[in-house]
A and B are shown apart, each in its own frame.
Chain A
Amino acid sequence: MSFQIMINLAMALLWMIINDAWSFASFISGFFLGLLVLYFMRGFFRERLYFHRVYAALVLVLIFFKELILSSFSVAKQILSPKLNIRPGIFEMETTLEKEWEVTLLSLLITLTPGTLVVEVAPDNRSLFIHAMDLQSVEAAEKEIRNTFEKAIREVSR
């Protein structure tokens, strides 16, 4: 992946030298032309092209903001309701993510989302212990995290 980025940057530099135009705008146009060249060279790389990964990361950020807004409103509703009607609890979620940074990212995202909080990561990185503010059913909470964050992170690291 870093090799592809290096090629892309070299292509941008080459474009600037050929045009003898040393501005940020010409760097950008050279960078995008480099992307095009990389796209045509895609058969020569063993890995998939790196901008698939950039795209997946963008999708992850969008999913995060959607979850952030939705769960902020649900938590605000619970706090402001006249009778506090919540069932907090700690549940265990087994994760299929393996690399250290993936598990770290997953727990960061879970903790940032209001309503869920990672209390502990199991020593073998296999499962997370999550405190939920309103735990109606463990399966539903687990499924939600699995279908949003975990799936998106796996897409990034694939």
Chain B
Amino acid sequence: MTEIVDWIVALLALVGAAFSIISAVGLLRLPDIFTRSHAATKAATLGVLCVVLGAFLFFMVHTQTFSLRFVLTLVFVFVTAPVGGHLIARAAYNAGVPLAERSSQDALSRSREENRASNEEKTDNNY
């Protein structure tokens, strides 16, 4: 029984490490900050999920402790990672970081220009 679990733990740790490596590669290869943050959030989700799950199983089998601290770790990672990713992307966008040249469209700039145009129209009417 512990033998099987050991194999599962090893597999989980390997998969988690592999995903972390892949996201590091992505961080280097991808063209702009937005696509890079895709790679970064991926490491924080599936990679951490696999590694922590492996640690959880390992301690459950070998020391017979059902440690909820690992679950708590996962919860905190899953709550903070998207907020951080969103804020970084938003800050970058508002600071005027351009999208990669290969990008197909930018709906946000379109909508902002429309907003600006309608606001100007309103102020024109006021005068």
Contact = CB atoms under 8 A, between A and B. Distances in A.
Do A and B associate with each other? Answer: yes
Interface of A: 68-69, 72, 75-76, 79-80, 84, 86-92, 107-109, 111-120, 122, 129, 131, 133, 135, 138
Given A92-B107, A112-B81, A115-B38, A86 B102 contact: yes
B62 to A, nearest CB: 24
B10 interface: no
Nearest to A64: B78
9 contacts: A75-B26, A79-B23, A86-B35, A88-B34, A88-B100, A118-B86, A119-B93, A120-B93, A122-B111
Contacts of A122: 111
A84 B38 CA distance: 15
B45 A68 contact: yes
Tell me which of B22, B29, B93, B104 has the highest count of chain A C-beta atoms within 10 A of its own C-beta.
B104
Contacts of B105: 89-91, 135, 138
Interface string B65-88: 000000000000011011101100
A87 B101 CA distance: 9
Contacts of B45: 68, 72, 112-114
B30 to A, nearest CB: 7
Contact of A131 (B34, B39, B79): B34
Contacts of B41: 111-112, 114, 117
Interface string B20-36: 00110110011110110
A116 B37 CA distance: 10
A113 B105 CA distance: 21
A72 to B, nearest CB: 4
A75 B30 contact: no
